[in-house]
Structure 1
C-alpha cells in the first residue's frame, strides 16, 4: 500500500448524526473524500450551503425510496437543486411491504431522477434492495454512465450485469460479517470496488461508526482484499475521471 494513500467514504447520512457539523469537520480535517447522501431534495437544499467551502466533502442530492409514501418527490425542487451538484444519492427502489401505488411512485421518481436531464456528468449512489433487476433496466434505458451500488445484496447474476455496464459497488464493514455479503464481495472485480460507512446506520466494534474508525475498517478489508486502500483510491480517482473531471484533486 502506498504511504499516505487518501481514504474514501462514498455513503454517509450526515444529517442523521447528532452533531453533523462536528462529524463533517472531522472528515475534512482527516482529508477523507466523502459523499454525504440525503433522503430528500429539501434536505439537500438545507445542507449544501453549509459544506460548499469544504474540499473533501460533497453533498449528494437524494430521494430515498423509503420516504416515497410520506413525501412525494418535488420534481421542481429536485430540478433546481440538481444545478448545484454533480452527485445524486441516495436514490433507488425498495418494494418491501409497499403497496402497488407506492411501488409505481417509486419507479416514476427513479426514472425521473436518472433521465439524461440529470445524469450527464453526475455520479449516483443507488439503493437497490430486492429491486436490482429493475434498477439495472432503468439505468440502461436512461443510459446512466456513472453509478455506485450502495450495500448491494442482490442476485449474483445481476451483479455480473451491473459490472458489465461499468458500475461500481461500495462496501461497508457490516458486509464482512455476512456470508451472503462475502459471496458478493468475492464476485465484484477489484476495479469496481469502493468503500462506504453508511454512517450512522452501522456500528464498528459495537460503536457508532465515526471518521476515526475508517482507517481501521480499511485495515480489516485488507485481510479480504489485499491492497484494499490503494484499490479504493484508484477506483475513486478513475470514477471521477470517467465523469470527465479534469483535475482529480477536485471532487
Structure 2
C-alpha cells in the first residue's frame, strides 16, 4: 500500500530527547505537522510509560526505551524495569557506554548494564538500538560482537566520534550512523562523515543538548544538517533528504 503524501516523512531525526523539552506534547504535534520521523529516546526506564503514551497517536514519532550510561551510577537498579518494558519497545535507546572522565568511575557498572541490555535484545530479537559510545567505540563494538548478532537486532551509532578504522569495523557489521550539526563543525569529523557508506547515514539533533543561536534545536532543524551533509558529499539537499528517508525505511524494514 502506498502511503498518502501527508504520512510520508520529509526528514529524519533519529535521536532526540523530546521529553526534556518544556513543550513535549506540542513538539510531538510539531513533528507530525512538519513530517519529521523522530525517534524520542529516553534516559531511564521510568520515563518510558509517559513517553509511550504521549506518542501513541503520533504518525511520525516513535519512542525508544533507554537507560543512559551517564545515569547508570544512580539508575542501575532500574535495569529490571528496563527488562520488563522491553517486550513493548521496538526501539532501544539511549543505551551504551561512556568512558569520558566524568563517567569513567561507573564504567564497570555501565558494562554490566550494557551486557544485560544486549542479551535481552538478542533474546527478543528485532530491536533497533541507538547507542552512545563516547571514548568507548571499540568496547561497544566488542560487546556487540559478543552479545548481539546482526540478525538479532540493528544498531545505530549516535554522534559517532570514533576513528576511521572503527567506522569501517562498525560498517562491516551493519551499523548505521546518525549525524548531527555539531559533528559537522569539526574538520576531523567532517572528514570521517564524508567517508561513511551512503546507505548507512541517518540524521539526528540530539536536542535539546545541541543548540543553535543559543536555543535548543528542534527536530525540524535536521533540514540544515541534511543540507550540510549534501554539500559535504557533493549532492543536492533534496537527494540527500530522500536518501536519509530511504535509509530509515530500509532499516525499519530489515527488522519487520
Same fold (TM over 0.5): yes
| C-alpha separation in 2, matches of 1:122 and 1:87 | 6
* Structure 2 gap segments, 5+ residues each: none
Q: Deviations along 1:53-107, whole A, 9 cap, x unmatched?
A: 2121111000110001122242321112112110000000002226776211100
| C-alpha separation in 1, matches of 2:13 and 2:103 | 34
* 2:78 equivalent to 1:74: yes
Equivalent residue runs for 1:103-114 within 5 Å: 103-114=107-118
Equivalent residue runs for 1:229-248 within 5 Å: 229-243=241-255, 245=256
| C-alpha separation in 1, matches of 2:67 and 2:103 | 18
Q: More displaced, 66-75 or 153-162?
A: 66-75
Q: 2:42 aligns with which of 31, 38, 58?
A: 38
Residue 198 of structure 1 corresponds to which residue in structure 2? 206
Residue 53 of structure 2 corresponds to which residue in structure 1? 49
| C-alpha separation in 2, matches of 1:144 and 1:89 | 18
| C-alpha separation in 2, matches of 1:100 and 1:15 | 26
Q: 2:175 aligns with which of 155, 167, 173?
A: 167
| C-alpha separation in 2, matches of 1:87 and 1:172 | 19
Q: Deviations along 1:27-69, whole A, 9 cap, x unmatched?
A: 0122211100001101113321121121211110001100011
Q: Secondary structure at the match of 2:39?
A: strand
CA drift at 1:172: 0.6
More helix by share: 2
| C-alpha separation in 2, matches of 1:231 and 1:117 | 28
Q: Does the aligned pair in 2 maintain the 1:116–1:144 contact within 8 Å?
A: no
Equivalent residue runs for 1:1-251 within 5 Å: 6-97=10-101, 102-118=106-122, 120-145=125-150, 146-225=154-233, 226=235, 227-243=239-255, 245=256
TM-score (structure 1 length as normaliser): 0.90
CA drift at 1:24: 1.2
Q: Does the aligned pair in 2 maintain the 1:89–1:125 contact within 8 Å?
A: yes
| C-alpha separation in 2, matches of 1:217 and 1:132 | 23
Distance 1:101 1:223, change over 3 A: closer
Q: How many residues matched?
A: 242
| C-alpha separation in 1, matches of 2:104 and 2:9 | 47
* Structure 1 gap segments, 5+ residues each: 246-251
Q: Deviations along 1:132-167, whole A, 9 cap, x unmatched?
A: 111001111112430000000012111110000010
Distance 1:214 1:95, change over 3 A: closer
CA drift at 1:207: 3.6
